């Protein structure tokens, strides 16, 4: 007979103890109003319902104790919320708060990514609907840190919204949770890992630390030494920080100095909006926004300072079915100014060996999403001017490829993804030099598909393309191992069915890979551990003050399911600090959570 050891449910028990301690303090306070707390929504690939109720109860106890608010009975809140139905819109939440006769209403989301958790909350002033909604965020690197995260979140709300004073730490070494400490950013210094994490071996500060020590590193140097690599033995991971969640589906993402203050900013596109954020610690603080027409679907967003004035312009392409419309934006202190708009071009920025970072574009045809010919573009008097045609195969569209001189011979290679997500290295003539066995990329963004005008114009819908053309994420070309040769950074969204079914795609998880050219093909340098969620976009930023350091930004959408990407919701950004030192620092690199496989 096998005896199964009893495992005490430690986290729920600790949450219960925390709840009791909060109630004692609450009894000493005088109520100053009432607060209704909605059930927290869960974003996770696993069952975390046991945490949802515990977090809600503890937050209620803490807020009652810290602010003196009276907490509306949860069963009553649940009953009214169920009767109200979908309450994601602000006006419906205000109505629900009025029904509950509450002064304030708090909604929130609990997100699990690997072993890490984040708490996102929004506070609504029911009695004063004109007051802006306040957003709060806390993170926990593991389940053991959730109580600390909830306590930090409660005090953030108490301080910011109700003017309460956070108590000093009991012990000098006690650390604050993210969002409470001021950490000045200098250049592109990689964000520090979230405070409140367990100390000790950094290998545990990963998305899946339990897998960190599975298998031994068996990599070798390409171009010398052992000719055999073991890419399947790469079990690398990076510790990462995470921003707050956003209640929209991310379509595009990039980084750059938008306002010219010398610090990196972030631009994100949803279906038809563009948001500009300052990066402060691990929070994105909005400072600019622009909305497009409701019919528009943004398919790409890039940042680059092409006019050399110290501010990164934002280049955006949206589509109305298969008709592109592009714009260039520049921040002018309080709002965006158009460099050009409503141009019938697909546009993006690309590094071209020789000219450097350049604006390039492609047009559509009447009966096709993409016309032949990709051109360098120039902005003159708010109009796009077509210049030199790029020497690339006609089979490629604007979003299929990047350019690099991979082997340093002075000739440009084309690194491309085909319609089956196989990566290829081509000569500019179209001759294939290499093709991957495995799939990379994987996108939910598309142009084409069923024509929205089909119901009102049957003939039009029959004469124009119906197939979806999926838009690949960017293929980043950068030297990521300091050998003065360009390397490739690319996503790999994971799903077998999505690469078989043409118009039904779902990518529940993904990875980011760095690859180097070894003379006959691209081989892995490192990769992140599996990321829970669809990788929508990503960027690699080098630290201008330290060539060995960089930050990998990964924008993800959680729990898309078999949904249209343009109707999904809940996005966030992960930030991985990278050490790009060469092989002589290999042992230290492995300890930092990723493994080097290059020369």
Tell me the DSSP string of 444-466. --EEESS-TTTTT-HHHHHHS--
Tell me the DSSP string of 518-539. -SSSEEEEEEPPPEESEEEEEE
Write down the pLDDT at residue 551.
Answer: 93
Residue 173 DSSP symbol:
T
Q: Which of 283, 255, 253 is nearest to 268 (CA)?
A: 253
Lowest-pLDDT choice from 116-120, 232-236, 486-490 = 232-236
Examine the pLDDT at 403 and tell me if it is beyond 90: yes
Greatest Cα-to-Cα distance within the chain, rounded to the nearest angstrom: 83
Q: Which of 74, 81, 71, 137 is nearest to 104 (CA)?
A: 71
CATH pick for 11-162 out of 1.10.1490.10, 3.40.50.10610, 1.10.3720.10, 3.40.50.80: 3.40.50.10610
Six-digit token string for 364: 């559509």
267 and 289 Cβ atoms separated by less than 8 Å: no
The count of C-alpha atoms lying within 13 angstroms of the C-alpha of 132, restricted to the half-sphere facing its C-beta, is 5
Six-digit token string for 537: 């976009």
> Rg of the chain over CA atoms, in angstroms?
25
Q: If you average pLDDT over residues 433-461, what whole number do you get?
A: 78
Residue that the structure tokens 């515990």 belong to: 54
Examine the pLDDT at 293 and tell me if it is beyond 50: yes
Examine the pLDDT at 212 and tell me if it is beyond 70: no
Q: Alpha-carbon distance 430 to 419, whole Å?
A: 16
Examine the pLDDT at 226 and tell me if it is beyond 90: no
Instruction: Tell me the pLDDT band of 567, cut-offs 50, 70 and 90.
Output: low
Instruction: Tell me the pLDDT band of 566, cut-offs 50, 70 and 90.
Output: low
513-558 confidence digits (pLDDT tens)? 999 999 999 999 988 888 888 999 999 999 988 888 899 999 999 8
Instruction: Tell me the pLDDT band of 579, cut-offs 50, 70 and 90.
Output: confident
Write down the pLDDT at residue 323.
Answer: 92
Residue that the structure tokens 């008097």 belong to: 381
Q: Alpha-carbon distance 203 to 180, whole Å?
A: 25
Q: Alpha-carbon distance 366 to 273, whole Å?
A: 27
**Mean of per-residue pLDDT scores for the chain:** 79
Q: Alpha-carbon distance 402 to 387, whole Å?
A: 19
Residue that the structure tokens 């950004």 belong to: 573
What φ, ψ does residue 462 adopt, rounded to 5°? -85, -25
Q: If you average pLDDT over residues 401-427, what whole number do you get?
A: 96
Examine the pLDDT at 393 and tell me if it is beyond 50: yes
Percent of the chain past pLDDT 90, that is, above it, reads 50
What φ, ψ does residue 441 adopt, rounded to 5°? 70, -135
Instruction: Tell me the pLDDT band of 240, cut-offs 50, 70 and 90.
Output: confident
Q: Which of 374, 421, 423 is nearest to 396 (CA)?
A: 374
Instruction: Tell me the pLDDT band of 250, cut-offs 50, 70 and 90.
Output: very high
Neighbours of 545 (CB within 10 A): 10
Q: If you average pLDDT over residues 194-204, what whole number do you get?
A: 35
Instruction: Tell me the pLDDT band of 359, cut-offs 50, 70 and 90.
Output: very high
Examine the pLDDT at 437 and tell me if it is beyond 90: yes
Instruction: Tell me the pLDDT band of 254, cut-offs 50, 70 and 90.
Output: very high
140 and 117 Cβ atoms separated by less than 8 Å: yes
Write down the pLDDT at residue 504.
Answer: 65
Lowest-pLDDT choice from 84-88, 229-233, 300-304 = 229-233
Examine the pLDDT at 265 and tell me if it is beyond 90: yes
Which residue spans of the chain are classified as CATH 2.120.10.30? 209-591
Q: Alpha-carbon distance 454 to 331, whole Å?
A: 38
Class of domain 209-591: mainly beta
In terms of average pLDDT, the best of 227-231, 381-385, 463-467 is: 381-385
Examine the pLDDT at 279 and tell me if it is beyond 60: yes
Q: If you average pLDDT over residues 39-53, what whole number do you get?
A: 84
Lowest-pLDDT choice from 255-264, 443-452, 516-525, 543-552 = 443-452
Q: Alpha-carbon distance 213 to 132, whole Å?
A: 47
Crossing angle (nearest 10°) for helices 10-26 and 146-162:
30
Write down the pLDDT at residue 125.
Answer: 93
Whole-number Cα distances in Å, 327 to 309, 341, 379, 429: 18, 4, 11, 31
Write down the pLDDT at residue 238.
Answer: 52
> What is the SS3 assignment for 558?
coil
Examine the pLDDT at 595 and tell me if it is beyond 80: no
Examine the pLDDT at 599 and tell me if it is beyond 80: no
Examine the pLDDT at 202 and tell me if it is beyond 60: no
Q: Which of 450, 584, 423, 386 is nearest to 517 (CA)?
A: 423
Write down the pLDDT at residue 573.
Answer: 95
Tell me the pairing of strands 70-71 and 34-37: parallel
What φ, ψ does residue 256 adopt, rounded to 5°? 170, 170
**Of 545 and 504, more confident:** 545
In angstroms, the first-to-last Cα distance of the chain is: 54
Residue that the structure tokens 């956070």 belong to: 166
58-82 confidence digits (pLDDT tens)? 999 989 988 889 999 999 999 998 8
**Of 104 and 529, more confident:** 104
Q: Which of 472, 550, 98 is nearest to 252 (CA)?
A: 472
141-171 confidence digits (pLDDT tens)? 788 888 888 998 999 999 999 988 888 765 4
Examine the pLDDT at 207 and tell me if it is beyond 80: no
Which residue spans of the chain are classified as CATH 3.40.50.10610? 11-162
> What is the SS3 assignment for 71?
strand
> What is the SS3 assignment for 570?
coil
> What is the SS3 assignment for 67?
helix
Q: Which of 357, 359, 351 is nearest to 405 (CA)?
A: 351
**Of 184 and 101, more confident:** 101
Q: Alpha-carbon distance 423 to 289, whole Å?
A: 35
Write down the pLDDT at residue 571.
Answer: 92
Write down the pLDDT at residue 190.
Answer: 40
Q: If you average pLDDT over residues 346-371, what whole number do you get?
A: 94
Residue that the structure tokens 């109707």 belong to: 567
């Amino acid at each position: 007979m096998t005896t199964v050891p009893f495992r005490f449910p430690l986290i729920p028990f600790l949450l219960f103890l925390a709840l009791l301690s909060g109630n004692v303090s609450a009894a000493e306070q005088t109520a100053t109003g009432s607060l209704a707390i909605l059930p927290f929504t869960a974003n996770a690939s696993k069952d975390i319902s046991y945490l949802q109720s515990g977090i809600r109860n503890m937050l209620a106890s803490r807020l009652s104790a810290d602010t003196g608010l009276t907490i509306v009975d949860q069963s009553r809140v649940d009953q009214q919320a169920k009767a109200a139905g979908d309450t994601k819109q602000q006006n419906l939440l205000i109505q629900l708060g009025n029904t509950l006769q509450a002064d304030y209403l708090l909604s929130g989301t609990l997100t699990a990514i690997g072993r890490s958790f984040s708490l996102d909350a929004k506070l609504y002033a029911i009695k004063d609907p004109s007051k802006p909604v306040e957003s709060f965020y806390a993170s926990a690197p593991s389940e053991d840190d959730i109580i600390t995260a909830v306590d930090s979140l409660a005090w953030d709300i108490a301080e910011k919204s109700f003017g309460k004073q956070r108590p000093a730490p009991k012990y000098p070494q006690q650390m604050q949770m993210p969002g409470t400490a001021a950490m000045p950013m200098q250049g592109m210094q990689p964000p520090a890992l979230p405070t409140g994490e367990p100390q000790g071996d950094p290998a545990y500060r990963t998305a899946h630390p339990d897998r960190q020590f599975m298998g031994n590193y068996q990599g070798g140097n390409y171009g010398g030494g052992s000719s055999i690599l073991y890419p399947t033995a790469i079990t690398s991971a990076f510790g990462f920080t995470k921003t707050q969640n956003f209640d929209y589906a991310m379509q595009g993402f990039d980084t750059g100095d938008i306002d010219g203050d010398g610090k990196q900013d972030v631009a994100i596109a949803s279906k038809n909006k563009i948001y500009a954020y300052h990066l402060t610690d691990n929070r994105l603080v909005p400072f600019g926004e622009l909305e497009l027409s409701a019919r528009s679907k943004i398919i790409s967003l890039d940042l680059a300072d092409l006019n050399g004035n110290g501010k990164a312009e934002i280049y955006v392409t949206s589509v109305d079915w298969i008709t592109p419309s592009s714009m260039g934006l520049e921040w002018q202190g309080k709002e965006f100014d158009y460099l050009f708009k409503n141009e019938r071009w697909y546009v993006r920025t690309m590094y071209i060996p020789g000219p450097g970072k350049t604006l390039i574009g492609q047009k559509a045809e009447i009966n096709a999403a993409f016309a032949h010919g990709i051109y360098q573009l120039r902005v003159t008097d708010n109009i796009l001017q077509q210049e030199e045609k790029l020497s690339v195969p006609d089979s490629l569209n604007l979003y299929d490829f990047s350019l690099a001189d991979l082997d340093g011979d002075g000739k440009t290679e084309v690194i491309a993804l085909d319609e089956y997500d196989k990566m290829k290295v081509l000569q500019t003539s179209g001759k294939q030099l290499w093709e991957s066995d495995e799939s990379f990329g994987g996108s939910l963004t598309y142009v084409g598909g069923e024509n929205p005008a089909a119901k009102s114009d049957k003939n039009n819908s029959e004469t124009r393309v119906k197939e979806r053309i999926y838009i690949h994420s960017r293929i980043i070309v950068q030297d990521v191992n300091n050998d003065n040769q360009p390397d490739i950074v690319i996503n790999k969204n994971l799903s077998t069915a999505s690469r078989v079914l043409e118009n039904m795609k779902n990518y529940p998880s993904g990875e980011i890979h760095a690859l180097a050219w070894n003379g006959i093909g691209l081989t892995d340098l490192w990769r992140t551990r599996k990321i829970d969620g669809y990788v929508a976009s990503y960027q690699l930023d080098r630290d201008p003050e330290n060539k060995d350091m960089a930050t990998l930004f990964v924008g993800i959408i959680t729990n898309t399911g078999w949904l249209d990407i343009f109707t999904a919701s809940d996005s966030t950004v992960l930030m991985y600090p990278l050490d790009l030192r060469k092989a002589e620092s290999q042992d230290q690199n492995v300890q930092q959570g990723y493994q080097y496989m290059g020369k």
